[in-house]
């Protein structure tokens, strides 16, 4: 009979080889195509990082200009999609709307769903990167009952997203360049993370030959969970619930209690066992943004800082190598920018879309690619005979 390796949670199984992203969990290193995340977050910008992830090299000035114009040409969504949004409950969570709308893109853009055609694959990739901010902003506007704001191609990627989220027809809204820069950095820090749960979901969905819009919708659905991308919303809600510094010990005790399902959200990582390099950059960014906005006595930030300090010195967290992850500080920046918690995970989703696509493209182009089909260890009932209803 067949012999399988039993590896629940895939803690020691490599599912593919990849040239895109490298993580060294012990050293706290993350590289996209060989470039350290700190350098990309500090010196590059999100669209350039998109190019790097998709095509493997940093673009020349000409390649960058061409890429930018291809992306901006696709930022609008089909007008008919507005009707699709309007079918959702008015207070729907933006992630719920996004799972549906992105899945439905294969119905609206079926001229780029033939994955055997490299040109269609390319168009689908650009459409996804260009339209995800528009879709996320529309999901937000819909959830708060404001009119949709069309994309503006004279703005850069991050400024355009902020404009679509925060401007209203009645009033002129000027995007603060420093906030746009912080937004762009958040996008960059989330752009890819090798074979995490949502990326593996995208690859598994794609391994059957499903179209890229369907695959990305699957990735968004997986990302939503609180152990993954949903942790940024859960973390800020937890910080608010803790409320003040005096209550921290109670929550620390709960996180350590085996009989209590409560975990410190924004803490711990499957791969990083020393620190999460994204969290380090995010923390600096949080300080910058709060300074910029003149927010100095934010109680959530105080709780976050103190919680981090206590946890980093606590035996339980030290021995289990639990450190703040990317989701710990991102929420503080997003809240300061004016986003409600329900938008945190959609922002993660739109940032990660490029990583999902790069990974999907790599898989499709790999001659070794075959359908993902894990095996199992069957531990159910032995073979038995059916019993008539009247005899049970
Ligand atoms: N608070 C308290 N205890 C924890 C935590 C936490 N946040 N995370 C892990 N532990 C404990 C866990 O109870 C277990 O203890 P024991 O060995 O006694 O059973 C041990 O640490 C190992 O945990 P695990 O769940 O087996 O580890 P994992 O690699 O399967 O899970 C994780 C990693 C990120 C899902 C987990 O640390 C967690 O649930 N963290 C909170 C949610 C979170 O912040 N997620 C965001 C992850 S980073 C960005 C992203 O992926 O989106």
Domain spans, the chain: 18-226+344-364, 231-337
pLDDT value at residue 262: 94
Question: Is 72's pLDDT higher than 70?
Answer: yes
Q: Which atom of ligand 1 is nearest to the CA of 269?
A: 34
The mean pLDDT of 139-159, rounded to a whole number, is: 95
Cα atoms in the Cβ-side hemisphere of radius 13 Å centred on 243: 4
1-5, 275-279, 343-347, range with the lowest pLDDT: 1-5
pLDDT at 59: 98
Q: What are the beta bridge partners of residue 267?
A: 324
Q: Is the pLDDT of residue 227 over 60?
A: yes
C-alpha to C-alpha distance for 239 and 254, rounded to whole angstroms = 14
For residue 299, the model assigns a pLDDT of: 87
CA distance 158 to 13: 36
d(CA 50, CA 56): 10
User: Alpha-carbon distance 139 to 93, whole Å?
Assistant: 8
Cβ count within 10 A of residue 240: 14
Report the candidate in 151, 135, 139, 146 with the shortest Cα–Cα distance to residue 170.
Answer: 146
From the list 80, 97, 104, 100, the residue with the least C-alpha distance to 139 is 97
pLDDT band for position 172 (50/70/90)?
Answer: confident
Which pLDDT value is given to residue 268?
93
CATH number for domain 18-226+344-364, candidates 3.30.420.40, 1.10.3470.10, 1.10.580.10, 3.40.50.920: 1.10.580.10
Query: Which residue shows structure tokens 């209590």?
Result: 260
The residue among 171 and 391 whose pLDDT is bigger is 391
Residues within a 6 A CB radius of ligand 1? 9, 196, 227-229, 231, 255, 263-270, 320, 322, 325-327
The alpha-helical segments, DSSP class H, found in 88-211 are: 94-108, 118-144, 157-166, 177-189, 197-207
The answer to whether residue 276 is catalytic is: no
Coil/strand/helix, residue 98 = helix
The secondary element (H helix, E strand) that includes residue 313 is helix 299-313
| Residue 148 in this model has a pLDDT that exceeds 90 | yes
Name the closest-CA residue to atom 44, ligand 1. 266
In this structure, which residue's CA is closest to atom 17 in ligand 1?
320
Q: What is the mean pLDDT of residues 256-282?
A: 93
Categorize the per-residue pLDDT at 1 as very low, low, confident or very high, splitting at 50, 70 and 90. Answer: low
Question: Which residue has the least CA distance to atom 15 on ligand 1?
Answer: 320
156, 192, 269, 276: the active-site residue: 269
Q: How many angstroms is it from 180 CA to the middle of ligand 1?
A: 32
Q: What was the pLDDT predicted at 4?
A: 85
Closest by Cα among 33, 8, 210 to 202: 210
Nearest atom within ligand 1 for CA of residue 193? 51
92 Cα–ligand 1 center, Å: 29
Could you identify the atom of ligand 1 that is nearest to the CA of residue 197?
51
Residue 155 CA to ligand 1 centre (angstroms): 39
Strands (E), 264-312: none
How far apart are the CA of 273 and the centre of ligand 1, in A?
11
Length of the chain: 392
Q: How far is Cα 108 from Cα 91, in angstroms, rounded to an integer?
A: 24
Q: Ligand 1 atom closest to Cα of 196?
A: 51
Q: Virtual CA dihedral for 46, 49, 54, 57, nearest 10 degrees?
A: 150
Confidence of residue 373 (pLDDT cuts 50, 70, 90): very high
Q: Can you tell me which atom of ligand 1 is nearest the CA of 268? A: 37
pLDDT, position 28: 95
- What is the number of the ligand 1 atom nearest to the C-alpha of 266? 44
Write the residue with the smallest CA distance to atom 27 of ligand 1. Answer: 270
Task: Report CA(54)–ligand 1 centroid distance (Å).
Answer: 30
> How far is the centre of ligand 1, averaged over its atoms, from the C-alpha of 22 (Å)?
21
Question: Which class does domain 231-337 fall in?
Answer: mainly alpha
Give the separation between CA 222 and CA 200, rounded to whole angstroms: 9
State whether residue 24 is helix, strand or coil.
strand
Q: Ligand 1 centre from 263 Cα, in Å?
A: 7
Which SS3 state, helix, strand or coil, does residue 131 take?
A: helix
For a pocket test of ligand 1, which of 268, 269, 273 has the largest count of ligand atoms closer than 8 A to its C-beta?
268
Overall average pLDDT of the 260-280 stretch:
93
Determine the average pLDDT of the residues in 250-257: 95
Quote the ligand 1 centre to 274 CA distance (angstroms).
Answer: 14
- For ligand 1, atom 29: residue with the closest CA: 270
Residue closest via CA to ligand 1's atom 35 equals: 227
pLDDT for 218: 98
Active-site position among 192, 327, 366, 385 = 327
* Token pair of 12 as six digits: 């020691």
pLDDT band (50, 70, 90) for residue 297: confident
Beta bridge partners of 29: 24
Active site residue 269: yes
Q: Which atom of ligand 1 is nearest to the CA of 348?
A: 52
pTM (2 decimals)? 0.95
Q: Strand, coil or helix: what is 196?
A: coil
Band (pLDDT 50/70/90 cuts) for residue 195 is: very high
Which residue has a Cα nearest atom 39 of ligand 1?
227
- Which residue's CA lies nearest to atom 9 of ligand 1? 268
* Mean pLDDT taken over the chain: 95
């Amino acid at each position: 009979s067949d012999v399988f390796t039993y590896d629940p949670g895939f803690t020691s199984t490599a599912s593919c080889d990849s040239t895109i992203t490298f993580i060294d969990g012990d050293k706290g290193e993350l590289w996209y195509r060989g470039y350290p995340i700190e350098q990309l977050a500090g010196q590059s910008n999100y669209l350039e990082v998109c190019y790097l992830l998709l095509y493997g090299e940093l673009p020349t000035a000409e390649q960058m200009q061409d890429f930018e114009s291809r992306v901006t040409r696709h930022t609008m969504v089909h007008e008919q999609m507005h009707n699709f949004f309007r079918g959702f409950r008015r207070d729907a969570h933006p992630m719920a709307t996004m799972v549906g709308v992105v899945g439905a893109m294969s119905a609206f853009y079926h001229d780029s769903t033939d994955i055997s055609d490299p040109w269609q694959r390319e168009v689908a990739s650009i459409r996804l990167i260009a339209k995800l901010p528009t879709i996320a902003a529309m999901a937000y506007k819909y959830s708060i009952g404001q009119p949709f704001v069309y994309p503006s191609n004279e703005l850069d990627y991050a400024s355009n997203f902020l404009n679509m989220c925060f401007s209203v027809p009645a009033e002129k809204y000027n995007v603060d360049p420093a906030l746009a820069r912080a937004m762009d950095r958040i996008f960059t820090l989330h752009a890819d993370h090798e074979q995490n749960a949502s990326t593996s979901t995208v690859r598994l969905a794609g391994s059957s030959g499903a179209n890229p819009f369907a695959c990305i919708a699957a990735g968004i659905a997986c990302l939503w969970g609180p152990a993954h991308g949903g942790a940024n919303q859960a973390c800020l809600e937890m910080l608010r619930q803790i409320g003040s510094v005096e209550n921290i010990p109670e929550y620390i005790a709960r996180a350590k209690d085996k009989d209590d399902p409560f975990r410190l959200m924004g803490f711990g990582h499957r791969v990083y066992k020393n620190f999460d390099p994204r969290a380090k950059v995010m923390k600096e960014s949080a300080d910058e943004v709060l300074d910029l906005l003149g927010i100095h006595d934010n109680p959530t930030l105080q709780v976050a800082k103190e919680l981090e300090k206590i946890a980093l010195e606590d035996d339980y967290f030290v021995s289990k190598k639990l450190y703040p992850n990317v989701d710990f500080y991102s929420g503080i920046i997003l809240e300061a920018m004016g986003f409600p918690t329900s938008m945190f995970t959609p922002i993660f989703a739109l940032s990660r879309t490029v990583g999902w696509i790069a990974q999907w493209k790599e898989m499709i182009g790999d001659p070794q690619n075959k359908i993902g089909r894990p095996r199992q260890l069957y531990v159910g009932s032995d073979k038995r005979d059916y019993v008539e209803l009247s005899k049970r």
